[in-house]
Amino acid sequence: MGLAVGTAKYLLFFFNFIFFVTGIVIIAIGGVTLGKLGKLDQELNSELTSPAVLLIVVGVFVALISFFGCCGAIRNSYCMLLTFSILLALIFVLELAAGIAAYVKKDNLVDVLQREFYDSFNKSHDHEDKEKWWKELEENDHCCGVENASDYTVRGWPIPSSCCKDGNKTENCTTVFTTGCFTTLKDQFINNIVLIGGIGVGIAFVQILGIVYACCLASAVKEMS
């Protein structure tokens, strides 16, 4: 029994280390995403940063729970180990629900994002701050308009220098970025969802193993006490 308990304890330490590292990685991904989308979210009056904030919260929660699990293993505390298992199972259920919701609502979120892009773009010709924001977005992301450069021409607007390629920043340039800013950011948005989904699957697998080992160790500790 002592060997089994010792083995379970070391395995639980190992998984908690993985949980802790995972929590830090999630916080980092959330922080980078928040920095990327913060200004965009403010301009479009959307909730693009909500998933990033959620990632940071989940990352902090995972890191704290991993510390809680380590304490339970060190102290051979049945209550702490059982609580750790329950919290881990709760996170697993929440992650599963959030993943399903994100996948189901993905297309709806993209549609909302597109409408907000067009709303901002349509106002950019009459608002200096919005015009400046669009120029910065086009220069930084190498894009032009919402869908493409024709968004300017169909409105009778001149194509701005921020759409020009190869550093030829003049109002009458002949070579412009062919990809729209919405298209560029939509691809990034979808890629981020896929990335987060892949990370979530990996975390879920490790969590299941962690729950099993924590329950086994808690059961062994209870029998020994």
**Residue 78 scores a pLDDT above 80:** no
Quote the CA–CA distance of 175 and 159 in Å, as a whole number.
11
- Per-residue pLDDT tens digits for 126-160: 888 888 889 988 988 889 999 999 999 999 998 88
Q: Would you state the pLDDT for residue 152?
A: 93
Mean per-residue pLDDT of the chain: 78
Q: Would you state the pLDDT for residue 1?
A: 47
Taking the CB of residue 214, how many other CB atoms lie within 10 A of it?
28
Quote the CA–CA distance of 191 and 143 in Å, as a whole number.
18
- Per-residue pLDDT tens digits for 61-76: 888 888 877 777 777 7
* Helical spans, DSSP H, in the chain: 2-44, 50-75, 78-104, 106-124, 128-141, 150-153, 181-224
**Mean pLDDT for the stretch of residues 200-215:** 76
Q: Would you state the pLDDT for residue 43?
A: 65
- Do 8 and 199 meet the contact criterion of CB atoms below 8 Å apart? no
Crossing angle of helices 128-141 and 181-224, rounded to 10°? 70
**Mean pLDDT for the stretch of residues 154-181:** 80
Give 186's pLDDT tier (boundaries 50, 70, 90). Answer: confident
**Residue 3 scores a pLDDT above 60:** no
> HSE (CB half, 13 Å, CA atoms) of 63?
14
pTM score: 0.65
**Mean pLDDT for the stretch of residues 183-204:** 74
CA angle 199, 61, 209 (to 5 degrees): 55
Give 47's pLDDT tier (boundaries 50, 70, 90). Answer: low
Rg (CA), the chain: 24
Quote the CA–CA distance of 212 and 116 in Å, as a whole number.
46
Quote the CA–CA distance of 94 and 141 in Å, as a whole number.
34
Q: Would you state the pLDDT for residue 24?
A: 87
In the block, tokens 């120029």 appear at 135
Q: Which of 87, 84, 88, 64 is nearest to 75 (CA)?
A: 84
Q: Cβ contacts of residue 41 below 8 Å, gap of 6+?
A: 47, 48, 49
- Do 136 and 39 meet the contact criterion of CB atoms below 8 Å apart? no
- Do 178 and 148 meet the contact criterion of CB atoms below 8 Å apart? yes
Q: Would you state the pLDDT for residue 46?
A: 58
**Mean pLDDT for the stretch of residues 192-217:** 74
In percent, the amount of the chain with pLDDT more than 70 equals: 79
Quote the CA–CA distance of 9 and 80 in Å, as a whole number.
13
**Mean pLDDT for the stretch of residues 99-125:** 80
Say which residue, 121 or 43, is predicted with more confidence.
121
